[in-house]
Amino acid sequence: LRHFLSVEHLSRSLLEDMLDTAASFVDVGGRAIKKVPLLRGKTVVNLFFESSTRTRSTFELAAKRLSADVLNLDISKSATSKGETLLDTLRNLEAMAADMFVVRHQDSGAPFFIANEVTPGVAVINAGDGRHAHPTQAMLDMYTIRHYKGGFDGLRVAIVGDVLHSRVARSQIHALNILGAEEVRLIGPRTLLPVAAESLGVTVFNDMAQGLRDVDVVIMLRLQKERMDSAFLPSEAEFFRLYGLNNEKLRHAKPDAIVMHPGPINRGVEIASEVADGPRSVILNQVTFGIAVRMAVMSMAISGQESSQNPEQGEDH
Ligand code: CP
């Protein structure tokens, strides 16, 4: 691994390696370990062109626990507001000896563009691009599922709500299929599901009771209004009535089903507080595991870059 831009096209063994590496950073209490020297002397730059609470903070914590120096560029106060181009911003940050860019951008494909432009040896991690991909979120979700369910064989996973605008769902679908989940279900109104969704290797349901029947994992998604045309905004009350997860609808899933959500949650829109704060919710555990998973991604990318600079030192994925 040299960059981590999407999970699509990666091998099962690489994804498993990532999960195993993350597990090596987690202590028995499930919290990430304090500090290891794997990125000592490296500089990680967080480049977030879109807002974030979880991803940005856990990338910062992960980089610090790997002993890297971390620079959080405040885009709203950076020289991009004076007309500096993305490329010129990058060149200047590279001149400060950045070794890794963690990029969130509202445009699909922006981290791929940056990965093509950076100096060899500099790694780029996609922290969410447009509605395209959010690969580290998908991997921390896979880590959470493996932690609670022991693996993916025979597992039925339902992804519920606004799949159409969700970069998280797209990455989760690829990761679940690569890791061998039995069935990935998408549940939502036709207007919020991708056209020809079945071609992604999923089964589609428009009814919650049918779609949730006997699933092991329920992943709820937020209505991503920032990516919707205002003329087509659904009514929150109607959406909650039909697709909001409450204890009554959760009864259709297996009795030991876990409930996940990438966050931020909108209580009373896609999920009721009784479920979000209930005994089957692992939503905050996902956040905790995110630190270890991002430590794994960053350490694997830096070691991949080092191998590619010194090919005799090891294999590059
Ligand atoms: N799940 C997620 O990406 O959350 P943030 O937008 O807070 O980073």
What is the reported pLDDT for 31? Answer: 80
Instruction: Tell how far CA 19 is from the center of its chain.
Output: 13
Q: Which atom of ligand 1 is nearest to the CA of 104?
A: 8
- Cα 52 to ligand 1 centre (Å): 5
Contact 137 CB / ligand 1 (< 6 Å)? yes
- Indicate whether this model's pTM tops 0.80: yes
Closest among 118, 87, 82 to 2, alpha carbons compared: 118
For residue 13, report the distance from its CA to the centre of ligand 1, in Å: 26
In the prediction, which pLDDT does 312 show? Answer: 65
- Could you tell me the CATH superfamily of domain 135-282? Aspartate/ornithine carbamoyltransferase (3.40.50.1370)
Q: Choose one of 48, 50, 54 to mutate for the ligand 1 pocket test, by most ligand atoms within 8 angstroms of C-beta.
A: 54
Residue 315's pLDDT is 41
Does ligand 1 have an atom closer than 6 angstroms to the CB of 135? no
Whether 226 lines ligand 1, by a CB cut-off of 6 Å, is: no
CATH assignment of 12-133+287-313? 3.40.50.1370
Q: Tens digit of pLDDT per residue, the chain (317 long)?
A: 999 999 999 999 999 999 999 999 998 877 878 899 999 999 999 999 999 999 999 999 999 999 999 999 988 888 888 899 999 999 999 999 999 999 999 999 999 999 999 999 999 999 999 999 999 999 999 999 999 999 999 999 999 999 999 999 999 999 999 999 999 999 999 999 999 999 999 999 999 999 999 999 999 999 998 888 876 777 999 999 999 999 999 999 999 999 999 999 999 999 999 999 999 999 999 999 999 999 999 999 999 999 998 866 544 34
Query: What distances in angstroms separate CA 278 from CA 13, 69, 146, 248, 272, one per listed residue?
Result: 34, 38, 20, 13, 10
Instruction: Calculate how far, in angstroms, residue 54's C-alpha sits from the geometric centre of ligand 1.
Output: 5
Strand partners, 100: 44, 123
57 CA: nearest ligand 1 atom: 8
Q: Atom 3 in ligand 1: which residue has the minimum CA distance?
A: 55
Atom of ligand 1 nearest to the CA of 128: 3
Do the annotations mark residue 264 as ligand-binding? yes
Q: Which residue's CA is minimally distant from atom 5 of ligand 1?
A: 52
What's the confidence (pLDDT) of residue 317? 40
Secondary structure class of 2 (helix, strand, coil): coil
User: 135-282: same fold as 12-133+287-313?
Assistant: yes
Residue that has been written with the tokens 């876990």 in this structure: 258
Please tell me the distance between residue 229's alpha carbon and the centre of ligand 1 in angstroms.
21
Strand, coil or helix: 259: strand
User: ∠ at Cα 288 (99, 105), nearest 5°?
Assistant: 45
- Delimit the domains of the chain by residue range: 12-133+287-313, 135-282
Does the CB atom of residue 262 touch ligand 1 within 6 A?
yes
Is 156 among the annotated ligand-binding positions? no
Asked casually if ipTM beats, i.e. exceeds, 0.85, the reply is yes
Per-residue confidence (pLDDT) for residue 79, from 0 to 100: 87
The answer to the question of whether 167 is labelled as a binding residue is: yes
Q: Which atom of ligand 1 is nearest to the CA of 263?
A: 1
